[in-house]
């Protein structure tokens, strides 16, 4: 175990740029005082959390699970705190963007790269599952790349704890394309459901498309249910179609084999599942172990060369979420940073109480008054965090 990272003081944080945003959160690149280390600050809107069904519980659960996770392939949570309007997670910064951005940029990945990213995710999921939690929202946008190009699992906003080995969770949450058939059939979810999503992720990485693709959510759900048909003959035909499609995309036999086994409609038989006694476990599949130089323990100790250094790609130079096409300016950042979601009612006192266990109440700096801003009045923020051509030191 390395040394514990030094905790920056929330009041010293200054905003550098926007990294990404989701349904409840905006994620900011931040610095602390004059120190060179940068972080990601995930700010979640309390008003929206209070309005959503289970929104507050989910936020508290996200903190609870993330606090407990210490793993090389999982984004590290340094601390959490709150103010009147937001709950914030201070996270390790992943400068390389997320796998969704990588796919947007490159369409599909060579198999060796997919194996590397997939291998990182396998290690992360095994760790999460060993603590009795499931992720429930595995998808490219929730797998981040650090400065060296290693993949790290992020976003535990929908994670749930399974109290017993046979517990199941019944919330309909996550992302349509990655939804497991058991959830769509109202049979609930357990650990194998994350392996289904992992199969979709691998398919997405090697082909550039998700396997159950359609114009709207209902059609996507229909395609998944159709694929997971109760009739064994129809099922087999659907699985054959899926592997034919993979072969048509020039995916190796071993690669097809792993993906089709992950996308097994039967949870018990699904690859990755602890109950599955059909053949070798996921980690021993030929696609992994027969690949030249593949070594799980070297991967875990970060001694394998990543497929690409994010800094060599356009993503890292430009990873500012929705602002990727238009660089975010200091003005815009202030607006967003201080923005309060007026569409939702202010948080009631009783609800504020429920946030108590999230973390201490702090005062964050207003980016408008930032010293660097006075010094760089005209510069777009994107050019401060990632100057064109400049490279961070390799760790
Ligand atoms: N630690 C981080 N470093 C860099 N970018 C991040 C980090 N955390 C999140 N992001 C970016 O912000 C996006 C949204 O963050 P996420 O935690 O997934 O929020 P949400 O719960 O709203 O989906 C991610 O898809 C990613 O692009
Ligand atoms: Mg997310």
Per residue in 252-308, pLDDT (tens digit) is 999 999 999 999 999 999 999 976 666 899 999 999 999 999 999 999 999 999 998
Mean pLDDT value across residues 32-53 = 91
Query: Is 90 near ligand 1, meaning CB less than 6 Å away?
Result: no
100 torsion bin: left (phi>0), alpha (psi -120 to 50), beta (else): alpha
Of 336 and 376, the one with more pLDDT: 336
Q: Atom 4 of ligand 1 has which residue's CA nearest to it?
A: 94
pLDDT score of 2 more than 60: no
Tell me the pLDDT tens digit for each residue of 131-171.
999 999 999 999 999 989 999 999 999 999 999 988 999 99
Assigned token pair, 177:
């394309």
Which position among 137, 155, 194, 257 bears the catalytic label? 137
Atom of ligand 1 nearest to the CA of 22: 22
Q: Atom 16 of ligand 1 has which residue's CA nearest to it?
A: 155
- Classified by CATH at the fold level, domain 10-95+313-389 comes out as Phosphorylase Kinase; domain 1 (3.30.200)
Instruction: Report yes or no: 341 and 49 within 8 Å, Cβ to Cβ.
Output: no
Mean pLDDT of the chain: 87
Atom of ligand 1 nearest to the CA of 23: 22
Query: Is 141 near ligand 1, meaning CB less than 6 Å away?
Result: yes
Is 244 an active-site residue? no
326 falls in which pLDDT band (50, 70, 90)? very low
Query: Is 23 near ligand 1, meaning CB less than 6 Å away?
Result: yes
4 falls in which pLDDT band (50, 70, 90)? low
Distance (Å, whole) CA 45 – CA 342? 11
Ligand 1: distance of its center to the CA of 165 in Å?
Answer: 30
Cα–Cα nearest to 111, from 7, 250, 279: 250
**pTM of the full structure:** 0.91
Q: Can you give the pLDDT at residue 328?
A: 58
Query: Is 94 near ligand 1, meaning CB less than 6 Å away?
Result: yes
Query: Is 142 near ligand 1, meaning CB less than 6 Å away?
Result: yes
Instruction: Report yes or no: 117 and 143 within 8 Å, Cβ to Cβ.
Output: yes
Radius of gyration in angstroms for the set of CA atoms belonging to the chain, rounded to a whole number: 21
Distance (Å, whole) CA 313 – CA 290? 29
Q: Where are the domains of the chain?
A: 10-95+313-389, 99-300
For 229, 314, 321, 327, 353, the CA distances from 388, given in Å and listed in that order, are: 51, 9, 17, 13, 45
Query: Is 91 near ligand 1, meaning CB less than 6 Å away?
Result: yes
Cα–Cα nearest to 17, from 376, 390, 312: 376
| Segments of the chain assigned E as strands | 13-21, 25-32, 38-45, 77-82, 86-92, 133-134, 143-145, 151-153, 160-161
* Ordered DSSP codes for 22-48: -SSEEEEEEEETT-S-EEEEEEEEHHH
In 3-state terms, what secondary structure has residue 14? strand
Check residue 176 and report its DSSP letter.
Answer: G
Mean pLDDT value across residues 121-140 = 97
Q: Can you give the pLDDT at residue 178?
A: 98
Distance (Å, whole) CA 64 – CA 68? 7
Query: What ligand is nearest to the CA atom of residue 44?
Result: 1
In 3-state terms, what secondary structure has residue 160? strand
Tell me the pLDDT tens digit for each residue of 351-394.
999 999 999 999 998 777 654 454 444 444 443 333 333 333 33
Tell me the pLDDT tens digit for each residue of 282-293.
999 999 999 999
Tell which CATH architecture fits domain 99-300.
Orthogonal Bundle (1.10)
Q: Can you give the pLDDT at residue 321?
A: 40
Query: What ligand is nearest to the CA atom of residue 92?
Result: 1
Give helix 232-248 / helix 217-227 axis angle, nearest 10°. 110
Q: Can you give the pLDDT at residue 3?
A: 60
For 193, 280, 326, the CA distances from 274, given in Å and listed in that order, are: 12, 11, 46
């Amino acid at each position: 175990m390395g040394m514990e990272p030094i905790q920056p003081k929330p009041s010293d944080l200054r905003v550098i740029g926007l990294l990404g945003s989701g349904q409840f959160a905006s994620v900011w690149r931040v610095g602390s005082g004059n120190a060179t280390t940068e972080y990601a600050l995930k700010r979640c809107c309390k008003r929206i959390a209070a309005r959503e069904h289970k929104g507050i519980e989910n936020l508290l659960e996200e903190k609870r699970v993330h606090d407990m996770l210490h793993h090389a392939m999982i984004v590290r949570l340094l601390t959490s705190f709150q103010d009147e309007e937001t709950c914030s997670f201070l996270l390790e910064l992943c400068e390389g963007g997320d796998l969704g951005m990588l796919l947007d940029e490159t369409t599909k990945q060579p198999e060796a790269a997919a194996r590397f990213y997939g291998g990182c995710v396998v290690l992360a999921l095994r760790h999460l599952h060993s603590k009795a939690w499931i992720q429930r929202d595995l998808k490219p946008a929730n797998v981040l790349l650090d400065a060296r190009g290693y993949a790290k699992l992020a976003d535990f906003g929908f994670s749930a704890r399974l109290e017993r080995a046979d517990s199941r969770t019944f919330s309909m949450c996550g992302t349509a394309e990655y939804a497991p058939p058991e959830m769509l059939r109202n049979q609930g979810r357990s650990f194998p459901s994350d392996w289904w999503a992992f199969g979709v992720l691998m398919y997405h990485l090697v082909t550039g498309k998700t396997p159950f693709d359609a114009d709207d959510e209902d059609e996507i759900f229909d395609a998944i249910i159709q694929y997971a048909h109760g009739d064994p003959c129809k099922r087999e035909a659907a699985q054959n179609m899926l592997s034919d499609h993979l072969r048509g995309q020039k995916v190796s036999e071993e690669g097809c084999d792993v993906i089709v086994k992950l996308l097994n409609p039967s949870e018990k038989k699904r690859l990755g599942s602890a109950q599955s006694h059909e053949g070798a476990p996921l980690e021993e599949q030929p696609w992994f172990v027969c690949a030249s130089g593949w070594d799980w323990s070297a991967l875990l100790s970060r001694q394998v060369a990543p497929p690409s250094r994010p800094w060599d790609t356009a993503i890292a130079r430009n990873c500012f979420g929705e602002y990727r096409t238009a660089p975010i300016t200091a003005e815009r950042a202030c607006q967003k940073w201080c923005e309060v979601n007026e569409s939702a009612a202010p948080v009631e006192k009783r609800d504020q109480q429920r946030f108590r266990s999230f973390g201490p109440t702090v005062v964050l700096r207003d980016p408008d008054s930032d010293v660097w801003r006075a010094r760089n009045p005209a510069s777009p923020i994107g050019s401060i965090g990632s100057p064109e051509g400049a490279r961070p030191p390799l760790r």
